[in-house]
Structure formats: C-alpha cells, structure tokens
Copies of this chain bind each other. A is one copy, B any other.
Amino acid sequence: MKVTIKDVAKKANVSPSTVSRVIANNPRISDKTKEKVHKTLKELHYRPNVIARSLVSNKTNILGLIIPNSNENLFKNPFFIDVLRGISIYAQKHGYHIMYTYSKNEKEEKEYIQEYIYSNLVDGIILLTALENDPIIKHLKKEDFPFAVIGRPENTDSILWVDNDNFKAMYELVNHLIAQGHKDIAFIGGPSEFMFSKDRLKGYKMALSAKGYIVNDDKIIHESGFDVNSGYRACKKIFKNFSPTAIVTTDDLLAFGANKFLKEENIKEVEITGFNNVPTYEFQSHSITSIDIDSEGLGYSVAKLLIAKLNNQEMINNHIIVETKLIDRTSK
C-alpha cells in the first residue's frame, strides 16, 4: 500500500499539516518535531504523491517536448538524440520531468500544444526548431504560455531561445575555404523556411562578398529535405552549369549526397563540407569537414532557460549561444 501524509501523521502523533510543513521545510516547525517526523517519514518510506501536489500547486514539474515528425527527415538526424539527452540531463538535475509528443503537421502540433496547456499537464514547452514566421511560436506567444525554442526565432522579442551562431559558423567556414585557395564555392541547403537555413546562407553570402566575390544565385540550391538524396539532386543541378571547387552544405547528409554524386561522376578534388558532424564511421573512404554544433549543449541550455523562467529567476539574457567547432577534414 502506498503511504500518505495521514499515515505518517498518525504514526508520528502530529497533524497532517505538520507533516506537510516538515516536508516543505517550513522554518516555523520545532527541531524536535522535525526530527520526529523525519524519522517516521523514513520508516514508512514515504513519497509524496506528485499528482496531489500538482493539483494544489498548479505545477507539474513536467516539460513538454513537441517533435515534428515531418517528411524533411530532420528528426531522424542523429544529432537529435543528443538534444534529447541534453534536455533531460539538465531537467532531471532540477527536478523536472520530460514528456515528448510526435506530431505529423502544424495542425497536430497545435492540437498537442493545446492539450499540454489546457489539460494542465506541463509547466512549459520546448520547441525543437524555429521557422520563418513560425506559426507555432506565434500561437504559443498568443497563449502566453512559457516556452523556449532551439533555434533563433525571427522575432526574438521576449521569447527564450538557444542556438548556435549559424551565421558566424558558416562565415568562418567559407573563409577557411577561401584561405585554402577556393574561389568558386557553391551552396546546398535544405528547406529554406528554417531559420538556421537562412542564417547559414547569409554567412555564406557575406563571406563571399566580404572578399569581393560575386554571389551567384544559380550556385545556391535549396532542396526539400535534409537527406542524402536531396544532396545528390542539388549537386547534380549545380554541375549541370558550373564546376565549383568547393560546395558548402547546411547538413552532413546533404554533403554525403553531394559526395555520392561526385563519386559516381568521377569528379575529383571538389571539397564538400557539412554541418552537425554526424558520425560517418571513418573507416570509410573519406570524411568531410563539418561544423560540430554541440547538440547536447543545445538541449541542456534550452532546458536551463525554460526552467529559470518557470522559477521566476532573474535572467540577464533571453537567449544562449552555444559554441560551434569547425572540424577540419579538408584535403589540404
């Protein structure tokens, strides 16, 4: 049988209120009764019923995660599991639990959010991605419910977010290639509505124009997915008209796809770079230069921001930038 506060009270010869106060470490309880109650608490292996507690406190200490199960394959991407771990590790340390829900589309996403909010299930929501003009972010803002986003939102007003500096990471990467002598660099991206897609593209453009190179929009290809096939298709399109010496992509899987095309066509000496530093089991032919985004750090930080807010902690910043790292595997 589960033991309740009443059982403890009876055994310790005090009232339930007193037991509750001892548990809450209320300062007005005498050391003597504190000790006595603590003893029976131990003896009976008492554990508070969090559901009852939630009902009165109106807090569940649960964070809800909305995972888009879309066809862009983004969340089959290996980095994602590290995000989950990062979130959980911070949350557990601070007494929060994590709940997750897959949703197939925007409609379902909104539905689950309503459910999370109005059934009183969660105290806050974590979003795993930010789109341009993001309908979910708007919705959450309108509902005025605590949430935090992985990815810099378009309009950052009063919203909590965590991200890499995608602009800077791509900017530096392109600079790195230029320093190696590359003058003709193409760009392959996934769906452009993701904010990180936009930021990486900006970094690419800016790096080129800062050195006086002309940005040729025909060398910029966006595909509908973040997968190997999309990379393959994009690379094919580029080489129909051009022969760049390097291609930057916004995701390792795109890079792998591009590589596949080059290999099939027996095109050599083109440098391909990716993003996310996905494990490629390096025994295989060759690995690519990539940007390590510290997925676990992203998860950890987003949980940190949201929990700080839920505890009404003073925050200096409404966002955290997680450092990236250029993993150089260029052939030179």
Contacts and interface: CB of A to CB of B under 8 A. Distances in A.
A85 interface: yes
A274 to B, nearest CB: 10
A114 B45 CA distance: 11
B102 A281 contact: no
A102 B303 CA distance: 15
Interface string A57-99: 0001010000101000001101011101100110010000111
A283 B262 CA distance: 9
Nearest to A284: B284
Given A48-B119, A115-B47, A119-B47, A88 B102 contact: yes
A88 B103 CA distance: 10
A100 interface: yes
Contacts of A2: 118, 120
A284 B283 CA distance: 10
A147 interface: no
Interface in A138-189: none
Copies in the complex: 2
Contacts of A253: 281
A49 B119 CA distance: 5
A114 B46 CA distance: 11
A315 interface: no
Interface residues of A, number: 52
A261 B194 CA distance: 40
Contacts of A88: 67, 100-102
A210 interface: no
A52 interface: yes
A46 to B, nearest CB: 9
Nearest to A50: B119
A67 B88 CA distance: 10
Contacts of A98: 99-101
A89 B62 CA distance: 20
Interface string A231-269: 000000000000000000000010011011001100000
16 contacts: A45-B118, A47-B115, A47-B119, A49-B55, A51-B54, A52-B55, A52-B120, A76-B82, A88-B100, A92-B102, A98-B100, A100-B100, A228-B282, A259-B283, A260-B281, A285-B285
Interface of A: 2, 45, 47-52, 54-55, 60, 62, 67, 69, 75-76, 78, 80-82, 84-85, 88-89, 92, 97-102, 114-115, 118-121, 228, 253, 256-257, 259-260, 263-264, 280-286
Given A88-B101, A228-B281, 15 more contacts: A49-B55, A51-B51, A51-B54, A51-B60, A62-B99, A81-B81, A84-B100, A97-B99, A97-B121, A98-B101, A100-B100, A253-B281, A259-B283, A260-B281, A284-B286
